[in-house]
Each structure stands twice: as C-alpha cells, then as structure tokens.
Structure 1
Amino acid sequence: MAEIILHHYPLSLFAEKIRRILAYKKIAWRSVEQPMMAPKPDLTPLTGGYRRIPVLQIGADIYCDTACVARRLEQLQPEPACLPADQAGLAALIEDWADHRFMSQVVPPVVVELLPVLPSGVLVDRAAMSPAMSEDVIRRAAPHALGQARLSLDRLESQLHGRAFLLGDAFSIADAACFHPVWFLKQSARLSADIGARPALAAWFARVEGFGPGDVRPMTAAEALAIARASEPADVAGGEVAAGEELRPGDAVTITADDYGPEESRGVVARLSASEITVRRRDPAVGEIALHFPRAGYRIRKQ
C-alpha cells in the first residue's frame, strides 16, 4: 500500500484529532507541514480548492474532512477499532458535537489568548472563510464562549467519572473528537487550569496524550505532489446509488462546506454512498486525483 501522508500544521485542532488516531492505531505516517494561512500552493493541486487542514493523501487518493479521514483509517487498519460497532451511532453523535459545538466554544477564548504569538494576519485570513472568525467578532465572543466551554468540560468530567475513555474501556472516535478541543485549550497556560481542576478529565487527557507522537517521519510537499503525480486513484470502486438519489456517477459537481470556507472543489462523480462521495478531477501539476468527502456538512451541487 502507498504511504499514508498527512498534510497538516502543528497548531491545527482537527489535525490533532487525526494524529491521536494514527498514534492509537500505531499506523506509520508521513508528515507534510502546510501553511496555516492561504495561499497553499502545494495543497490546492491535490484538493482543487479545499483548504482546510488536515488532508490525508494515499497515492492519488485525497481524503478531506476528519470524518472521512478517520473512517478511511479504520478501513485500512480495523484493529484496534476507533468505531465500535455496538456504539457507532453514539460515537458519531459525540464526534459531531465535539467537532462543531465544543470546538466553537473553545476556539474564541484560546485564540484571544494566543493572538500575541500567532502569525500576523491569521484572523484576516480566517475572516475570509467566515465573518464569524474576524478579530472583532472573536474578541467579543470569547467571554461567553469560555463559559459555555466550561459547561462542556463539566459534562466530559461527569462522563469520564469511573471510566478510562468516554464510551468505556477503549479509546474511540468520540475520544479523538473531544480530545482536540481540550488539547487546544491547553495551548493557553491560563486556560489549561480548567482541565487540571477536573481530575477525571485531566487523567483522560494524560491517557490519550500518552499515545505519543506515533510512527511519523517528515516529507516535503514536493515529494507528496510527486507521489500523487506518479500514482493513479485506487479507492474508487464499489458504492451503491440509493433509491431516490439525484446524483449519478459521471455527473459534474461542486462540493463546498456548509459552515465556513467558501472554496469549491469540482469533479466528476466516481462513487456515491449514503455517507460519502468520491469525485475524479484532473490538475496540471499532479494529473488525475480522486477526492473523497463526507456528505454530512457539505453542499454538493450538480453542474
């Protein structure tokens, strides 16, 4: 199998979600560090416009959004499992809550704390993705958001009382999704006290952090692009078109996130399922690419 390549940057919340899964599963991976802000000239040839981090690359197959990335990793290495079959629905609900509501509570207060050390212009860049990410809006949102985040920390503390992980004795996608907002909170020395004040939460955090960095080696963006250029999409077979589905393989579509980030990715539908879509696209820098997206959280428009 082609190498597993993660395009990310160190301070990315969502990349930390995937880094925890890779470490837990003991999957060897290559690290390509991408810029925190646009432009991302070594990423867009792979994604066709999608600029969020992280992005998983396996040859010429590109997986966007951590929901899609996590599930592909589970397919590639089912054990140890991150998607418990008997609690898959509950795990996915917690994942969605953490990736959206909990994350949105944590980001404003932490960003305000980190502004003196963040790259200049980072909030101008984020405001281009959504007006809610402008510096003025984030500063005004921070006090209320922190209060809401503390309520969420209390809920996690309650859920973790008497258990090692959120769903029981084993780590799952629920833990990975809840870990990354707590990890981001710890980037502020002042706000990290909120974790230490909750003993079950602090012990759980140390447990997940204890997986370590995993089996990771650096790779340059140029090397990753060369791998894509020398490869052909491999994960495009299968899939069943559900009754009543408006899209069909061969349809030209655009794919855009439904919450923030106006960038579009375009392609021709190669595979459909109830939960994911795969499109083929061609780029002069890398040739033919297969882009994989979850359907939840994305607007897919037939052209």
Structure 2
Amino acid sequence: MAEIILHHYPLSLFAEKIRRIFAYKRIAWRSVEQPMMAPKPDLTPLTGGYRRIPVLQIGADVYCDTACIARRLEQLQPEPACLPADQAGLAALIEDWADHRFMSQVVPPVVVELLPVLPPGILIDRAAMSPAMNEDVLRRAAPHALGQVRLSLDRLESQLRGRPFLLGDAFSIADAACFHPVWFLTKSVGKSVGKSVGMSARLSAEIEARPALAAWFARVEGFGPGDVRPMTAAEALAIARASEPADVAGEESAAGEELRPGDAVTITADDYGPEESRGVVARLSATEITVRRRDPAVGEIALHFPRAGYRIRKQ
C-alpha cells in the first residue's frame, strides 16, 4: 500500500484528533506541514477549493474532514479498533458534539490568549472563512464561551469517573474527538507558533481542577507522537502524480438517491469555509461521497468527503 500522508500543521485542533488515532493504532505516517493560512499552493492541487486541515493522502486518494479520515484509517487497520461496533451510534454522537459544539466553545478563549503570538493576518484569513473569527467578535465571545467550556469539561469529568476512556476500557473515536479541544486548552502553545510562550495557566488550570479528566488527558497524551517521518509537499505531489485513484469501487447510489455516479457536483462545508470542490461522482454511500477530479499538477485524484456536514449540489 502507498504511504499514509497527513497534510497538517502543529497547532491544528483537528489534526491532533487524527494524530492521536495514528499513535493509538501505531500507524506509520508521513508528515507534510502546510501553511496555517491561504494560499496553500501545495494543497489545492489535491483538494480543489477545500482548504481545511488536516487532509489525508494515500497515493492519488485524498480524504477530507476528520470524520472521513478516521473511518478510512479504521478500514486500513481495524485493530485496535477506534469505532466500537456495539457503541457506534453513541461514539458518532459524541464525536459530532466535540467536533462542532465543544470545539466552538474552546476556540474564542484560546485564540484570545494566543493573539500576541499568532501570525499577522491570521484572523483576517479566518474571518474570510467565518464571521465568528473576527477579532472583535472573538473578544466579545470569549467570556461566555469559557463558561460554556467549563460546563462541557464538567460533563467529561462526570463521564470519566471510574473508567479510563469515555466509552469504557478502550480508546475510541469519542476520545480522539474530545481530546483535541482539551489539548488546545492545555498545550504549550508558544512552541507551535515559533515563539517562546508557555501554556496558559488560567486555561490549563481548568483541566487540573478535574482529576478524572486530567488523568484521561495524560493517558491519551501518553500514546506519544507515533511513528512519524517528515515529507516535503513536493514529494507528496509527486506521489499523487505518479499514482492512480485506488479507493473508488464499492457502493453506488441507493433507491431514492438523486445523485448518480457520473454526475458533476460541487461540495461545500455547511458550517464555515465557502470554498468549493468540484468533481464527478465516482461512488456514493449513505455516509460518504467520492468524486474524481483532475488537476494539471497531479493528474486525476479521487476526493473523499463525509456526507454529514457538507452540501452536495448537482451541476
């Protein structure tokens, strides 16, 4: 199988979700560090308009959104499992809550703390993706958001009392999804933006005040960095150019489905980020869509998205 390549950057919340899964499953992977801000000239040949991080690449197959990435990793290496078959619905509900509501609570207070060390222009870049990332909006939102964070941390503390992980004895996608917002609150943020600024004592104290949560955080962090080696963006693009899409066979549209293989579509996130990706439908299931697209820099790519959280429009 082609090497597993993650396009990411160190301070990305959602990339940390996938990095924890790599470490838990002991999957060897290659790290391509992408810019925090647009333009991303070494990413868009793979994804079209999509600019979110992380993106998973395996040859000429490119997976967008951590929900899609995590499920592909589970297919490639089922053990140890991150998607417990007997609690799949509950795990997915917790994942969705953490990736959307919990994450949206954490971002304002953390970003306000980070303002002195963030790269110039990053909030202008993020405000183009979502009006909520405007500096004035973030400053006004931060006090209320921190209060909501405390309520969410209390819920996690309650769930973790008497058990090592959120769903019981084993790490799961629920833990990966809840870990990355907590990690964003507690890590030493300065190193990730190239400046010597330590972790926020005010925010990290919120974790330390909850012993079951703090023990869980240390447990997941204790998986370590995993088996990772760097790769340049040029190398990753060369791999895509030399490869053909491999993950395109399987499910087709179900009864009542308006879309069909061969339809030209646009795909856009339904929460933030107006960028579109375009392609021709190659495969459909109830939960995912795969489209083929062509770029002069890399040739044909199969682009994979979850259906939850994305608007898919037939052209």
TM bucket by the smaller chain?
A: over 0.9
Q: CA deviation at 1:124?
A: 0.5
Report which stretch shifted further, 224-233 or 238-247.
238-247
Q: CA deviation at 1:189?
A: 3.1
Deviations 1:119-162 (A, max 9, x none): 01111000000111111111110000000000000000000000
May I ask how many residue pairs the two structures share in their alignment? 302
Alpha-carbon contact 1:56-1:69 (below 8 Å) kept: yes
Measure, in 1, the Cα distance between the counterparts of 2:40 and 2:49. Answer: 9
Alpha-carbon contact 1:114-1:188 (below 8 Å) kept: no
Measure, in 2, the Cα distance between the counterparts of 1:20 and 1:173. Answer: 10
Alpha-carbon contact 2:22-2:226 (below 8 Å) kept: yes
SS at match of 2:42: coil
Measure, in 2, the Cα distance between the counterparts of 1:142 and 1:205. Answer: 23
Measure, in 2, the Cα distance between the counterparts of 1:146 and 1:244. Answer: 44
Alpha-carbon contact 1:60-1:290 (below 8 Å) kept: yes
Deviations 1:180-213 (A, max 9, x none): 000000x533201100000000000000000000
Tell me, yes or no, if structure 1 residue 116 matches structure 2 residue 116.
Answer: yes
Alpha-carbon contact 1:7-1:55 (below 8 Å) kept: yes
Q: CA deviation at 1:222?
A: 0.2
Q: Which runs of 5 or more residues in structure 1 are unaligned?
A: none
Measure, in 2, the Cα distance between the counterparts of 1:191 and 1:16. Answer: 18
For the aligned residue pairs, the C-alpha RMSD in angstroms reads 0.5
Deviations 1:257-289 (A, max 9, x none): 000000000000000000000000000000000
Measure, in 2, the Cα distance between the counterparts of 1:192 and 1:32. Answer: 29
Q: CA deviation at 1:35?
A: 0.2
4+ aligned runs moved over 2 Å, structure 1: 187-190
Deviations 1:227-268 (A, max 9, x none): 000000000001131110000000000000000000000000
What is the TM-score of this pair, normalised by structure 1?
Answer: 0.99
Alpha-carbon contact 2:252-2:261 (below 8 Å) kept: no
Measure, in 2, the Cα distance between the counterparts of 1:112 and 1:145. Answer: 11
Deviations 1:59-101 (A, max 9, x none): 0000000000000000000000000000000000000000000
Q: CA deviation at 1:26?
A: 0.0
Which residues of 2 match residues 169-248 of structure 1 at below 5 A?
169-185=169-185, 187-248=199-260
Measure, in 2, the Cα distance between the counterparts of 1:190 and 1:48. Answer: 40
Measure, in 2, the Cα distance between the counterparts of 1:169 and 1:122. Answer: 40
Q: CA deviation at 1:8?
A: 0.1
Q: CA deviation at 1:219?
A: 0.2
Alpha-carbon contact 1:6-1:32 (below 8 Å) kept: yes
Deviations 1:15-44 (A, max 9, x none): 000000000000000000000000000000
Alpha-carbon contact 2:9-2:35 (below 8 Å) kept: yes
Measure, in 2, the Cα distance between the counterparts of 1:239 and 1:8. Answer: 29
